[in-house]
Amino acid sequence: MFSQRIVALLVALVASVALAQEKPKPEQLQIAQGTLLAPKAFRAASKRVLPSLVTIEGIGGLASGISAAGIQAPGEGPTSGVIISPDGYIVTSTFNFIRKPPIITVTLASGERKVATLVGRDETRKICLLKIEGVSNLPVPTWAERQQLRVGQWTVALGIGFGGNEPALTAGIISATSRIGGKAVQTDANLSPANYGGPLLDLEGRVIGICVPLNPQSRDEGSGVDWYDSGIGFAVPIGGNEKIIEALKAGKTLQPAFLGVQSEPRGTPASGAHVVQVVPKSPAETAGIKSGDQLQAIDGHEILDVTHLQSIIARYNAGDKATISIVRGEEKLDVAAEFGVPPVQAKPPMPGKR
């Protein structure tokens, strides 16, 4: 009787252990395994874009050690670029040319080195276009679809700037899909001067954007550089943005839009953008905007307050035209404005990071 009981208990024990093993693996374990496999995906994505990655070097220009544009002295190493057309158009960052080198060379993945000419610049995106001659059928990367980007998805950044024979690889996620007036994607993949001009990729190896130093609060040449190691980095998508590429190919310098009004919120509670002063000879004056006008909308986008006005204007470039809706006393009217170039200001000395 007693041994029967022991046997029955043992059978129950074994059966319950066996039954418990049949339980499905927790989701957590699958996620853990996926995480451990991510490096394979990082390397595969990187491999896909390598043929289109170029090394850029500037020869001559301001001497090293001179702090150009008030930022920390740029490094002495090579920088990165991405081929965007089979006949030799290359995108890189304006950061790489702060020292204004008279000679720019591009080294292709094949090892071939060519002299490049700087064709056009987009100061709002901190990118510029180079052209090399005598090449055809260069490999061009695939661009990621902007609308399909999701916060939290993996990104990989490649950069030549540390030297060596291969690019450095950093990984992170998309932190935000629309920053700097919609011009940039934000990532926490470590970005530094080693990356500027180089690609930010998704896990399929498609280019999300070109890594550049940006700072929503400042337009100065080097601003945003001191955010390396901060977990904040920016890349500007250009794939499919034919308007900008064509403007750069035509040799234009795209600059941020400038309207020329000083405004303030009014009413209770204070809201909106009411013009206090119109800058003389500015695009606002030319358009007929007067002190006292309330700026209600630009091209149909309602202006909520002064900061919002600035961010809407930031979506335009100098030379762009827009319709501005105004409330003047009892009247509502629309004026046609053409944004101009921001006036040149003496740059205050900026504390550099040493």
Partner 1 sequence: MIAGPLIRFIRSQFVNSCLAIVVIGSGFCLAQEPTDNGPFADAVAAAQKRVVKIYGATIGRSPGYATGIIVSPDGQIITASGVHLSEGNVRVTMPDGSLQQAEVVRRSPSLQTALLKVSVPTPDFFAIPEQPAASKGDWVLAVSNAFKVAEGAEPLSVNIGVLSLRVRLDARRGYNDFPYEDDVYLIDAITSNPGAAGGAVVNAQGELVGLVGKVIEGKTTGTRLNYAVPADLLQRFIRGDEPMTAVAETTPRGGKGELGIRLFALGGRKSPAYIDRVLPGSPAAEAGLKTDDLVVSINGEVVRDSGDFRRLTDTLPAGVEITLEVKRKNDLLSVRIKTAAVKTP
Task: Report the residue number, 89 or 196, with the smaller CB distance to partner 1.
Answer: 196
Task: Report the residue number, 109 or 169, with the smaller CB distance to partner 1.
Answer: 169
Beta strands 113-122; 253-254: pairing state: parallel
Answer for the pair 150, 174: CB distance below 8 angstroms, yes or no: yes
CB of 9 to partner 1, least distance (A): 5
What distance in Å separates the CA atoms of residue 215 and residue 208, rounded to the nearest whole number? 19
Task: Report the residue number, 18 or 344, with the smaller CB distance to partner 1.
Answer: 18
Task: Report the residue number, 55 or 325, with the smaller CB distance to partner 1.
Answer: 55
CB of 40 to partner 1, least distance (A): 8
Q: Which residues bind partner 1 (CB under 8 A)?
A: 5, 8-9, 12-21, 25-26, 28-29, 32-33, 35-36, 38-40, 42-43, 46, 72-78, 156, 161-164, 166-172, 189-190, 192-194, 225, 228-229
CB of 105 to partner 1, least distance (A): 16
What distance in Å separates the CA atoms of residue 274 and residue 295, rounded to the nearest whole number? 6
CB of 217 to partner 1, least distance (A): 21
CB of 293 to partner 1, least distance (A): 47
Task: Report the residue number, 199 or 340, with the smaller CB distance to partner 1.
Answer: 199
